[in-house]
Structure 1
Amino acid sequence: MEKAIYITKLCELPQEKENKDFSRIYFGNEFCERLLPTSEELRAVIDFATERKMEFTLVTPYVTNKGLERLEKLLSLLAKETSAEVVFNDYGVLRLLLRKFGGLEPVMGRLLNKMKRGPRLMNLIGMLPETSLAYFRGSSIEVSAFRNFLSKNGINRVELDNLLQGISLNLPKFGFSASLYIPYGYITTTRNCLAIDCDVHGKEDVVGIFPCKKECQRYTFYLKSKAMPITLIRKGNTIFFKNETIPKNLDEIGVDRIVYEPNLPL
């Protein structure tokens, strides 16, 4: 089982004693183009990985045209420095990879796999028949047309969240491998940032796509409700859940890589 560590900031680079636990480093951001690393930060992490003989994966978010331009510069740097994986969560990013960066390996991100993430499902899970359970534990990867699209574009690895209700997939049957993110999974994300001006009196509830002060880097909100079986974690434009229980059917699913998130990936 390959073990990777996922960081979003230079200060999260693993200490020397931790390096022995991981053979790959994930770096970047899945949820906001404003949090993409600079070229200098990317080069620093590539150098860190190279010096320690670690494999490298760049993680990318859904983007606007402006974000795509910024990302293209990062991909140009990455393509010059090393052959590496790029996790895409936007089909425009995939198109860019296929057109201009054939030496980089595309990996389908977890924002595109259409898994059922709503924690309220756990309130009903014991009442559902097996056919319904299989549906809620599945993914769009089970659709043949979608698998054909992925295969046609040279994609053979997909990223998965560690669903509370479990995962019922057999990806090796279709020639795919999977990475499983531990312990944080995402529930939903939006370009309408939930943290903008959250510390400005009178604007706490204002939500939109506005210039920000990266409030997400300073504040984390924990949401509790009687309707929810677990505490939700809201950071920036994304809501997360935490699940540290590793599924027992990793081989059946096709998981051959664990992606460890030491902190919320935002």
Structure 2
Amino acid sequence: MQEKKERFHGIPMLPYGLLSAVMQESPGNRKEIQITEMAEEGFCFRTARAICSPQKLEVCFYDMERAEYGTVVITEFEICREKEEDFFTQFLVWTEQEEYRRQVQKLVRQYSKYIRLKLEDDGELESELTGYPSEFDGEHCSSLEEQRQYWFAEKAGRAEINMEIPEHTECAIELDCPERYTAYLQKSLPEFYHDYLRKNHLQGSGLEARIPDRIYIGNQFCHLLFPEEELLFAMLEKAKKEFTAVTLSFTYVREILLEDTFALLRKIDHWCSKNELEMECVVNDWGMADFIRKETKYLLPCLGTLLNKRKKDPRINYKKGERDLYSQNSFNADFYQEFLRESFGIERAEWESCGYMQDIPAGKNSLHFPFYQTNTSQYCPLYAVQKEGDRGRQRLVYKCPQYCKNAAFLYPKHLNMIGRYNSLFALDRDFLEDSEQLKRYTDSNIDRLVLNLL
């Protein structure tokens, strides 16, 4: 074995995600070990304590081409203690199993290719590993209006949008910025709604057949876009006169805004009491959920998008491997729903159509479409670019001139993605085109559809 130790020249410290191993000292006694060096003739690993001679070893190799792990069981091997340090002991395993040698060669070949592509061109790396069409990354729209036209007005090569919201499903619309608050106050709801669709080139899409039964007021992602108090109560009064239900949307609450936010919630609760109405509040902050539960009588908290988390990305279709588990998240667990009901009185959850079918649990569920949020920053990058000329110079904004009214981050056309407000959003156009997907949702556990256009 001494001769073999002298001949061993391994590759040190390969990323743990590419290579791992399990040692079996006795039946039922399995222990994960860390490989520190790897070669075609064997590998080194370390443990925190001395070990007996293991019965077998299992080495798991990550296959970059198949995006999954493969396991090689090693039963023919020699093992010796290579060195002993204060906190660990290192061992050398020598094996001549052909399958192990073949997997090592394959891993080294794939990892070498990855390093070369990573150093040369990220686009080529993405294309090689996932089939991502990096050749289209240079194609952008030149303005927000052109982007809207590209998404909804152009029909070439795209299926027609023809959505019919079923009668048994509640229809709602989001008012999430000052421009829409003002427009809503100036027009009747039907007139406002048709203008809203026309501005986004969605007239004739079938959406105009249903006037919304409910409006969502506020922004789930940027607290600076929530309406001023006077404007808010003016909209509430208008909605009451038009017999339109209201859901208020709140985002996270910063410490400096706690007192003002709680004071506003008390005023809203008092307004509801005076008008003998209950009102939903979309919460994205556990402190607000607790306050509403304990300090108000007429406000009904709903689980917001930032708390009802899931995997969302417009590039997810390029991911290799299984994606079945994406369809569920923590809200699918019965015990979690019970916890939310008992602790906060939360019975409704807000969901988003996000590029794949989701398993919506029984209960009260709202589905926002066709845009879904992927990232949100408390330190607005759009403000940093407009104010400082540098996206990296972000800071907390106290008073905002609302650059997002006319400015946005535009991304490659094929990603159907945009940076608006302090967040990134992507368009699930398939949801607009696929009537079967809409039917599957509304026939199951979605009882409300919420239109959100940027």
TM-score, normalised to structure 1, is 0.86
> How do 1:147-162 residues align onto structure 2 when only pairs under 5 Å count?
147-152=337-342, 153-162=344-353
Deviation at 1:128, TM superposition (A): 4.1
Q: Is 2:328 the partner of 1:138?
A: yes
Q: Is 2:207 the partner of 1:17?
A: no
Q: Name 1:122's counterpart in structure 2.
A: 317
Deviation at 1:90, TM superposition (A): 0.7
Code of the residue aligned with 2:229 in structure 1: it is S
Residues 15-50 of structure 1 show CA distances to partners (whole Å, capped at 9, x for unaligned) of: 443577111111011112222211101101101110
Name the CA distance, whole Å, in 2 between partners of 1:237 and 1:195.
Answer: 7
Identify unmatched segments of 5+ residues in structure 2. Answer: 1-168, 194-209, 273-277
Name the CA distance, whole Å, in 1 between partners of 2:226 and 2:313.
Answer: 27
Residues 178-198 of structure 1 show CA distances to partners (whole Å, capped at 9, x for unaligned) of: 101112210110112111242
Instruction: Note if contact 1:122-1:165 (Cα within 8 Å) is conserved in structure 2.
Output: no
Deviation at 1:202, TM superposition (A): 4.5
- Equivalenced residue count is 251
Residues 1:139 and 1:12: Cα distance change in structure 2 (over 3 Å): farther
Deviation at 1:260, TM superposition (A): 1.2
Deviation at 1:233, TM superposition (A): 0.6
Q: Name 1:3's counterpart in structure 2.
A: 171
Code of the residue aligned with 2:291 in structure 1: it is L
Moved over 6 A (4+): none
Residue in structure 2 matching 1:94, options 264, 280, 289: 289
Name the CA distance, whole Å, in 1 between partners of 2:388 and 2:395.
Answer: 16
Name the CA distance, whole Å, in 1 between partners of 2:233 and 2:442.
Answer: 34
Residue in structure 1 matching 2:258, options 55, 68, 71: 68
Q: Name 2:365's counterpart in structure 1.
A: 178
Instruction: Note if contact 1:85-1:105 (Cα within 8 Å) is conserved in structure 2.
Output: yes
Q: Name 2:379's counterpart in structure 1.
A: 192
Instruction: Note if contact 1:193-1:207 (Cα within 8 Å) is conserved in structure 2.
Output: yes
Q: Name 1:84's counterpart in structure 2.
A: 279
> How do 1:54-65 residues align onto structure 2 when only pairs under 5 Å count?
54-65=244-255
Code of the residue aligned with 1:70 in structure 2: it is D
Code of the residue aligned with 1:17 in structure 2: it is P
Q: Name 2:448's counterpart in structure 1.
A: 257
Deviation at 1:95, TM superposition (A): 1.0
User: Percent of pairs identical after alignment?
Assistant: 25
Residues 1:100 and 1:128: Cα distance change in structure 2 (over 3 Å): same
Name the CA distance, whole Å, in 2 between partners of 1:72 and 1:39.
Answer: 13
Instruction: Note if contact 1:137-1:163 (Cα within 8 Å) is conserved in structure 2.
Output: no
Deviation at 1:74, TM superposition (A): 2.4
Name the CA distance, whole Å, in 2 between partners of 1:15 and 1:107.
Answer: 27
Deviation at 1:77, TM superposition (A): 2.2
Deviation at 1:252, TM superposition (A): 5.6
Deviation at 1:94, TM superposition (A): 0.3
Instruction: Note if contact 1:57-1:86 (Cα within 8 Å) is conserved in structure 2.
Output: yes
Residues 1:193 and 1:27: Cα distance change in structure 2 (over 3 Å): same
Alignment RMSD (CA, Å): 2.2
Q: Secondary structure at the match of 1:86?
A: strand
Residues 1:148 and 1:260: Cα distance change in structure 2 (over 3 Å): same
TM-score, normalised to structure 2, is 0.52
Deviation at 1:68, TM superposition (A): 2.4
Name the CA distance, whole Å, in 2 between partners of 1:201 and 1:251.
Answer: 46
Q: Name 1:242's counterpart in structure 2.
A: 427
Name the CA distance, whole Å, in 2 between partners of 1:223 and 1:156.
Answer: 36
Instruction: Note if contact 2:313-2:426 (Cα within 8 Å) is conserved in structure 1.
Output: no
Highest RCO, 1 vs 2 (Cα 8 Å, sep ≥ 6): 1
| Greater C-alpha Rg | 2
Code of the residue aligned with 1:187 in structure 2: it is T
Deviation at 1:201, TM superposition (A): 6.3
Identify unmatched segments of 5+ residues in structure 1. Answer: none
Q: Secondary structure at the match of 2:385?
A: coil
Q: Is 2:398 the partner of 1:208?
A: no
Q: Secondary structure at the match of 2:357?
A: coil
Instruction: Note if contact 2:282-2:302 (Cα within 8 Å) is conserved in structure 1.
Output: yes
Name the CA distance, whole Å, in 1 between partners of 2:377 and 2:384.
Answer: 16
Q: Name 2:418's counterpart in structure 1.
A: 233
